[in-house]
Structure 1
Amino acid sequence: MGSTSAASLISLAVLLPFLLLVAASSAGLPNCPTSCGDVNSVPYPFGIGAGCYHSPGFNLTCDRTRDPPRLLLGDGGVFHVLNISLANATMRAARIGGINITSLDGLRGAVDGRAAWRGLGGDGGPYALSDGSNELLIVRCCDVLAQLTAGAGETGSGNVTISGCASFCPGTASGRALLSLSDGRCTGVGCCQMPISIGRASYDVQYRRLDVSRPPEHDPAGLPLVLIAEQGWLRQQAASTRGSPLPVNLDETPVPVLLGWAIGSAPLGQDGTLLDNSTCSGNAAPGRSACKSRHSSCRDFATAVRSGYVCDCQQGYAGNPYLAKGCQDVNECERPEDYGCFGECINQPGTFQCRCPPGTQGNHTQRNGCAVSPLPPASSSSTGLSIGIGVSSGVVLILLALLIVVLTRKHKHRRAKKLRERFFQQNRGQLLQQLVAQRADIAERMIIPLEELEKATNNFDKARELGGGGHGTVYKGILSDLHVVAIKRSKIAVKREIDEFINEVAILSQINHRNVVKLFGCCLETEVPLLVYEFIPNGTLYDHLHVIGPRSLSWQDRLRIAIEMARAIAYLHSAVSVPIIHRDIKSTNVLLDDTLTSKVADFGASRHIPVDRSGITTKVQGTIGYLDPTYYYTRRLTEKSDVYSFGVILVELLTRKKPFSYMSLEDEGLVAHFATLLTKGSLTDILDLQVSEEGGKEVEEVAALAATCITLTGEDRPTMRQIEMALESIQASGGHVAAIQKSEEDIIERNLPTTQGARNNQEVTRIYSLEDEFMLSARYPR
């Protein structure tokens, strides 16, 4: 559910009295109970008893064995319903018995353990935890790490960490006493808390004791108490106990959570698309939609893992949109001042009219804005003439106003059309047509109207921003065909940037490779051009590699990602009709999807190389740390420049060091230091510990291959095709790679630093002194 705007909050505050008046009449179906215990209103589509609810999952049970009675979710489920909101499509419910995690007794005496949060049943039906409204809590525990992962059976499930936190305690026994909450905040000492950003119907919990030297039965804090609770609950609990420790027995302390619900709720498709039966358009046939009031509207609802739809009353109406007569007209004239009317108010269906009372004039939107009109006394003989003149003048004014409206609309239409044409020319539309001249069908399919993109991004809402790249800001959107896309908006509307933007469009339109980001289209009808490509939801290789902590991507994932990148770059170099040099290969330009499949992105700096030429001379572009030194000094761009950048990424995968900021104690950059240590036979000094533990013989082979890629002379580097074959052979043989081609053997023999050859440390130092100078002093775009 998106964030509520200030205007929506004001409207809700104004409508609140009316909502209270119509609640009793519009809550549920006729002859169906609409209250239970402390819950005074059970609105349809929810209902108590057979025939009183919309569909399975919305049935509730009133447990009258307790005093007062309790409203339960489902047929005597484990959740106690506290309240239901139709406007926000949420339900506040508490887990009966209080604790939300299955027994943690397995933790006693063990280092690792598992638990689960269940209770919604199956895939959750129409329910899932509301995104960002709940949190993971660990209280009354010491030296425990808990991680929340996707529950079994959910879309996108697996060992994917959604949230997690760790609780530590001082070393003394007194410091490990039970937590006493003075202000309800957990800072990591004795307890911890972390928001749950992705709502699901179930979760798995993995936990680990961090201090295995101390027997857990001697821990004064006892076993950890792991909860999922609504954000703010712990603070309220601390306030209610006035800072005393939380009760040991939580059987009578229900822990609330905030659930989101939707009609037709269903998991997203395997490709992340919405299902027809879970959208407004998929239920547009008469009788299929749950929006029964003729003054209601349907709104699609989608989270990271599920989709559905909800109903709202139209503006000027309030009540229950799921009932045939549930949305009733709001009489704004009962409280006109709340709507900015200080004159005479006339209520109308769905709206109202405000004007100054007869005999007055002025501004009816301001208090005391209507004053008595100073009219001269009129004789009876002139009254008829005055009326006739007034009527005639009124007719003339109405006709004149209609004429002005028509002319204004035509003028705006012509102006908008000319503006779009001017932006098309300004945004190098003719250049795009020339670049794809042989494929006119591609150019026609790629042009996406501005109106479509504005709707997909909610008018480029700040909340839809995914981040910024070297060439612009990226937004997330959903097109009318339900494709989830990323929309890139250029930062600067200057000719060089626009030429590079059109260059990226032309290149991506001709590329069809599973490891290259897919282009959907572009829009040239705005001052700043827009590019629409597939949405890759899992961040960049840089984000996954450079995480805080000792462990990152596994070695097998790193090797597979390197192979996929090599395939994509080799495809660009040799499989397209006109070879393409990316010119900005780096870890932040490699996107990863949910399965960690790599996608090479950001082709704004790429260049075509005619097949009859080995390279071109051009202005230097790239990123410090990844840029080919030979290209930087000679300005001659060849395919071997991408090979150098790819070699730097291999070094980055092996070491988990950042090429643009790393500096050794000897003032060497990452590439130079890597080559020096490889020559000395001390490669383990710079390798990532995880790589050393998991990689085995494969690490040595990949390091040797990386060394051939980062040699200073471009002619001595292998081709991307050779690199691809070498990496595949390393993966297949488990580190015992055979020679792919004789030329590759020669390259490795000439350039691979060894501990015994004549070309030893001195030559490597000489070769990379130029690289050091380049890394420390070079300044260039991007």
Structure 2
Amino acid sequence: MKELRRVLCVLMMSIITNTILTTSATEMGNEIPLSKPGCPSRCGNVSVPYPFDYNLNCSHTTITNNPPRLFFSTIPTILEVMDISIKGKLRLKTPLAYNHYQQGKLISHEYSDAFPYDLFPHPQVFSDTANKLTVVGCDDSASASASSDASYSTYSRHGCHAYCSNLHELINGSCSGNGCCQVSIPNGMTIFNPRLDSDYNHSLYNTSNTYGYAFIAEEGTYTFNSIDLFNHTAFVNKIHNHVRVVTEWFVRQHESCNKVLTNKSTYVCQNNTHCIDFQAGLFTGYRCSCLPGYRGNPYLSPGCTDIDECAGVDNPCSHTCTNIPGSYKCSCPKRHKGNGLKNGTGCTSDSSQVFSRLALGFGASFGSIIVLLVGSWLY
């Protein structure tokens, strides 16, 4: 009988343990969906949240696409997407334009990717705050202009000139003009089709430098090295594998938040979100963002869900944590004071309350004794 009880006890403990582990694993793996039901949420190493799943092609066609790679389907295998943020930023492989010179003559004008690199079919612009127009060479200049379809004319042009007055003065890591230069790009730029020129067709400098390059680079993804001037194949591979360009995505309705909120039929932000105006050059639109204390996809119904800050051991309170919509509340036990935050004052014993209680008790006892003595005396 004892043996049977022991077996039943072990069996029940096993069932309870498995249930707890299964429940925990389910809760831990229960990620908030960012894609529409039935739509793939990833392509290889890239997460694809809604509404960024339009005009994209997840390529599985060749052995080199293992893992699969994500491209804009309008120009297959060219505009490769490396990262998508629900906050509206995309990182792509950067396009590279270059001129080839020999004996003071322009031999060819080539591209490592499709040109013009046009974002206008998509509701995106090149980020003027995250990117720099970069020119690498010894006698090369390039400019980029903000332009779009026929309804908008070119209204801004930025450019810079890279030179090599002395090859011994080239500074690795510096893009101040000697061998490499960088400038900001125009605000609202949707097309990259750089005008790459050379004043003397490389005839005044070391003949081993026969190429001039222009590309847009996210700040921090390209570091100049003097070797880049003399090894064309290695340089093209370096740009292709390591340099990225950032684009800004937005809801392109040519209306601000105040105006679009008056017509909810076209408003795409869901519950527990707020609207953020977006202005880039001549483009006007907006983005959606979860309210503080909420998470999820602000574009996908039913919207953002409340974050339970009190769940788990990482809750911010030192003692009692109470979750409330969009926030939380920390509280201390009785006869304790403080804000209850782990990173704040926490909860400490309130000695003043203890002293006041002792004083009150002593006072009451002493008063009772006095009353008895006075009463006895009067009697």
TM-score (norm 2): 0.70
2: CA distance, partners of 1:301 / 1:124: 18
Is residue 370 of structure 1 aligned with residue 348 of structure 2?
yes
Q: Which stretches of structure 1, 4 residues or longer, exceed 4 Å deviation after superposition?
A: 20-23, 105-108, 113-117, 335-339
| 1:259 paired residue number | 247
After the TM superposition, which residues 623-642 of structure 1 pair with which residues of structure 2 at under 5 Å, given as runs? none
- Shift of the alpha carbon at 1:215? 7.4
1:325 is displaced (CA, Å) by: 3.1
- From 163, 167, 183, the equivalent of 1:168 is 163
Deviation string, structure 1 residues 726-755 (Cα, Å, up to 9, x no partner): xxxxxxxxxxxxxxxxxxxxxxxxxxxxxx
Residue deviations 1:688-740 (CA, integer Å, cap 9, x gap):
xxxxxxxxxxxxxxxxxxxxxxxxxxxxxxxxxxxxxxxxxxxxxxxxxxxxx
Aligned residues: 315
Q: Distance in 2 between matches of 1:159 and 1:298?
A: 28
**Residue of structure 2 aligned with 1:356, choices 327, 332, 338:** 332
Query: Paired residue for 2:116?
Result: 118
In the alignment, the residues of structure 2 paired with residue 23 and residue 311 of structure 1 have an alpha-carbon distance, to the nearest angstrom, of 23
Q: For residues 318 and 304 of structure 2, what CA distance do their matches in structure 1 show?
A: 27
**Which residue, 87, 112, 130 being the options, matches 2:127?**
130
Kindly indicate whether residue 194 of structure 2 is the aligned counterpart of residue 187 of structure 1.
Answer: no
The answer as to whether partners of 2:117 and 2:193 remain within 8 angstroms in 1 is no
Equivalent runs, 1:726-737 vs 2, <5 Å: none
**Which has a greater percent of helix?**
1
Aligned-residue offset at 1:369: 3.1
Query: 1:322 and 1:368, CA in 2 relative to 1: closer, same or farther beyond 3 A?
Result: closer
Partner of residue 346, structure 1: 322
Amino acid at match of 2:293: G
Question: Could you tell me how far 1:166 is from its partner in structure 2?
Answer: 0.9
After TM superposition, give the deviation of residue 195 of structure 1 in Å. 2.3
Q: What is aligned with 1:442?
A: none
Partner of 2:222: 234
Query: What do you get for the CA RMSD once the two structures are aligned?
Result: 3.8
Which secondary structure state, in structure 2, belongs to the residue aligned with residue 281 of structure 1?
A: helix
> Is the Cα–Cα contact under 8 Å of residues 118 and 192 in structure 2 kept in the other structure?
no
* Cα-to-partner distance string for 1:588-626 (whole Å, 9 max, x where unaligned): xxxxxxxxxxxxxxxxxxxxxxxxxxxxxxxxxxxxxxx
Post-superposition offset of 1:204: 4.0
Q: For residues 260 and 22 of structure 1, do their structure 2 counterparts lie closer, same or farther at Cα, with a shift above 3 Å needed?
A: farther
Aligned residue number for residue 294 of structure 2 = 317
Determine whether 1:157 maps to 2:157. Answer: no
**Paired residue type of 2:51:** P
Higher strand share: 2
TM-score for both structures, normalised by structure 1: 0.36
AA matched with 1:69: P
> What secondary structure does 1:196 align onto?
coil
1:211 maps to amino acid: Y
State the shift of 1:299 in Å. 1.7
CA distance in 2, matches of 1:29, 1:213: 54
Secondary structure of 2:32's partner? Answer: helix
Residue in structure 2 matched with residue 208 of structure 1 by the alignment: 197
Match of 2:263 among 285, 288, 300: 285
Cα deviation code 1:566-595 (max 9, x no counterpart): xxxxxxxxxxxxxxxxxxxxxxxxxxxxxx
Q: Is the 8 A contact 1:23 1:319 kept in 2?
A: no
* Pairwise CA distance, 1:353: 2.2
2:331–2:339 contact (8 Å) kept in structure 1: yes
Output the CA distance in 2 between the equivalents of 1:80 and 1:234.
18
Structure 2 counterpart of 1:306: 283
Residue number in structure 1 paired with 2:50:
44
Distance change in 2, residues 1:220/1:286 (3 Å): same
- Residues 242-284 of structure 1: per-residue CA shift (max 9 Å, x gap): x754752225824410000101x26xxxxxxxx34x6452254
Any idea what SS the aligned residue of 1:233 has? coil
Question: What's the offset of the Cα at 1:343?
Answer: 4.0
CA drift at 1:62: 0.6
Gap change, CA 1:338 and 1:129, over 3 Å in 2: farther
Summarize the Cα distance change of 1:261–1:349 in structure 2 as closer, same or farther, 3 Å threshold: same
- Distance, in Å, in 2 between the alignment partners of 1:213 and 1:259 is 33
Residue number in structure 2 paired with 1:660: none
SS at match of 2:37: coil
Are positions 1:331 and 2:308 aligned together?
A: yes
User: 2:106, 2:39 → 1: CA distance?
Assistant: 52
Shift of 1:297: 1.6
Preserved contact between residue 117 and residue 205 of structure 1 (Cα < 8 Å): no
Is the 1:90–1:259 contact (alpha carbons within 8 Å) kept by the matching residues of 2? yes
1:129 & 1:344 partners in 2: Cα distance? 47
**CA contact under 8 A between 1:280 and 1:309: conserved in structure 2?**
no
Residue in 2 that maps onto 1:710: none
Counterpart contact for 2:145–2:186, Cα < 8 Å: no
Alignment correspondent of 1:28: 35
Deviations 1:84-113 (A, max 9, x none): 1123x1111114xxx433x635997369x9
One-letter amino acid of the counterpart of residue 259, structure 1: T
Aligned to 2:374: none
Runs (5+) with no aligned partner, structure 1: 1-19, 48-57, 267-274, 380-782
Can you give the 5+ residue segments of structure 2 that lack an aligned partner in the other structure?
1-26, 362-379
Name the SS of the counterpart of 1:25 in structure 2.
coil
> Residues 289 and 298 of structure 2 are in contact (CA less than 8 Å); yes or no, is this contact kept in structure 1?
yes
Q: CA–CA distance in 2 between the matches of 1:199 and 1:133?
A: 13
Equivalent AA in structure 2 for residue 229 of structure 1: A
Identity, in percent, stands at 27
Are the aligned partners of 2:58 and 2:68 in contact in 1 as well (CA < 8 Å)?
yes
8 Å CA contact retained: 1:180, 1:245: no
How far has the Cα of 1:314 moved from its partner? 1.2
C-alpha displacement of 1:29:
0.8
CA contact (8 A) 2:148 2:190 kept: no
- Aligned-pair CA distance for 1:124: 4.1
Does the aligned pair in 2 maintain the 1:181–1:244 contact within 8 Å?
A: no
After TM superposition, list the pairs within 5 Å mapping 1:341-490 onto structure 2: 341-357=317-333, 359-365=334-340, 366-371=344-349, 374=354, 375=357
Secondary structure in 2 matching 1:104: strand
* Equivalent AA in structure 2 for residue 290 of structure 1: V
